[in-house]
Chains A and B, each alone.
Chain A
Amino acid sequence: MAPNEGRGRLRASDADREQAVEVLKAAFVHDRLAKTEFEAHVGRALASRTYAELAAVTAGIPAPPSTVQPPGTSSPMAEQRTRRKISQAELAQAVGVSRQTVILIENGRYLPSLPLAFTIARFFGQTADDMFRSSSRPASRVARWWSA
C-alpha cells in the first residue's frame, strides 16, 4: 500500500478543512474558480471526513500564491518607476528612504506607513490606492462575496 493511500484514510481535522477552504478562497479570488464552483467546493470541503476526500476537493487547484511578488511581475510602484526610467536609488533619495526599503516595497515585503505611501503616490502623481492597490484588491472581492 502506498504511503499516500494510508494517509488518505485518516480523518481530517477542522484545521485541515479550514486550510482547504483557504485554498479555495485564494483560487476564487484569483479567478480560478467561478462563484458557483467555489460554493460547491466549499460545501464539499466542509463535509469531507478524510484526507482523501479533502484532496479530491482541492485537486487541480494550485496552492495560493505567496504575498512576495514573483520574479518577472511588477508592482504598480515598480511599473511607474520603470516607465519613468527612474532607478531604485533615485526614487529612494526622492522620497527619503533607503534603496533597500524601495526594493522591499516593490516586492510586497514591506508595507509603507501612510505618510510614506502618500509621499510615494504624490511623487508619481497617483493616488495611494492606485500605487498600493495589489494588496487591497483580493480582500475587497472576498468581502463583496461574503456580504452578498
Chain B
Amino acid sequence: MMTFIPPRLRKPAIYALAGVLFAAAWLVRGGPLWWVSIMAVLGTAVGAVRLFLVGGTDTDEGARAGSRADERQQLISLRSRALACNLAAVTSFIGLTAAIAVKATWGWPFLVTFLITGYGYLLGLGNYGIAEEGTPDDADTGHQTRHPVSS
C-alpha cells in the first residue's frame, strides 16, 4: 500500500493516521474529556505538516522524514530502533520484577511488553537467517573445518 503514496508523504501519512486513531479513541470513550480528541487532531496536523516540510530539507533528518534515506541513514535509523527496543525490554523486565516483588496486579503490561520484545527478537533471528548455518563444504571429506589464520 505504501508504494502508492509518494515517499515524501509516507511518514506524514503514518503520523496523521496514528493521530486520527488516537483522537478517535478519545471520541469513542466519550465523557467530559472529548475535547482531547480535537487537540489530538490539531497537534497531529501540525506535526504531519512539520514532518512534510522537514522531509524536503537536505539533511539526514530530512532524508529519513522524506523516506529517501541512503544506507548510512538507514543504519542510523536501525540502530536507533534497536536501542529503543533494548530499552523497552530492559524497562519492561524491571517493571515486571518490581510488580512481582510487591505482589502488584499491574505487572501484566510489563509481561506483555517483555514477551513481545523477546518474541520479536527471536522472530528477527529466524527471519534474517541465523538458523541457516548450512553444511561445511568439507563435511563429506571428513576434514575438520579450521579457521584460516590458525596454525
Contacts and interface: CB of A to CB of B under 8 A. Distances in A.
B72 A96 contact: no
Interface string B51-67: 00000001110010000
B72 A99 contact: no
Nearest to B68: A98
A104 B70 contact: no
Q: Interface range on chain A: under 10, 10 to 19, 20 to 34, or 35 or more?
A: 10 to 19
Nearest to A96: B70
A104 B63 CA distance: 15
A100 interface: yes
Interface in B71-97: 71-73
A116 B59 CA distance: 20
Contacts of A139: none
A110 interface: yes
A31 B64 CA distance: 43
A105 to B, nearest CB: 9
A104 B72 contact: yes
Nearest to A95: B70
A97 to B, nearest CB: 4
A98 B72 CA distance: 9
Interface in A87-125: 96-101, 104, 110, 112-113, 116
Contact of B60 (A100, A112, A116): A100
A98 B135 CA distance: 40
B58 A101 contact: no
B59 to A, nearest CB: 7
B75 to A, nearest CB: 9
B58 A112 contact: no
Contacts of A98: 58, 60, 63, 68-70, 72-73
A118 to B, nearest CB: 13
A101 B71 CA distance: 9
A98 B69 CA distance: 8
B58 A99 contact: yes
B66 to A, nearest CB: 10
Given A100-B72, A113-B71, 4 more contacts: A98-B72, A100-B73, A101-B71, A101-B72
Interface of A: 96-101, 104, 110, 112-113, 116
24 contacts: A96-B70, A97-B71, A97-B72, A98-B60, A98-B63, A98-B68, A98-B69, A98-B70, A98-B72, A98-B73, A99-B58, A100-B59, A100-B60, A100-B63, A100-B72, A101-B70, A101-B71, A101-B72, A101-B73, A104-B72, A110-B72, A112-B71, A113-B71, A116-B71
